[in-house]
Amino acid sequence: MEKSTNLNIRLDSNLKKDAEDLFKRLGLSMSAAINVFLTQSVKEQAIPFTIKENRPNKKLLKALKEADKMAKHPEKYKWYDNVNDLIEDLKK
């Protein structure tokens, strides 16, 4: 059996809780999940997933621009407080 060692890291408490909840559902401890990550990183000699800047795509940017236009001119657009009202209006 290989000798084990400790690793101390600082992280956001909400992130830790969310990660623990996820790993528990997956049947892993936090330690096991980190070991999986580190093992895969060493095996691939890389981070085992894509790291990229989170930028909105053109479709989302267009939708955001349209939503901004609608918010600035509420007199031109019908608004709904809930989905049921929208569905009822669509049935008309």
CA distance 56 to 67: 15
pTM of the model: 0.55
pLDDT in tens, 9-18: 999 999 999 9
pLDDT in tens, 31-89: 999 999 999 999 999 999 988 888 889 999 999 999 999 999 988 988 888 999 999 99
CA distance 89 to 87: 5
CA distance 69 to 79: 13
Q: Exposure of 11 by Cβ count < 10 A (0-12 exposed, 13-18 middle, 19+ buried)?
A: exposed
CA distance 39 to 48: 10
Confidence class of residue 7 from pLDDT cuts 50, 70 and 90?
very high
- What confidence score (pLDDT) does residue 42 get? 97
What's the chain's Rg over C-alpha atoms? 23
Classify the C-alpha dihedral 37-39-42-48 as positive or negative: negative
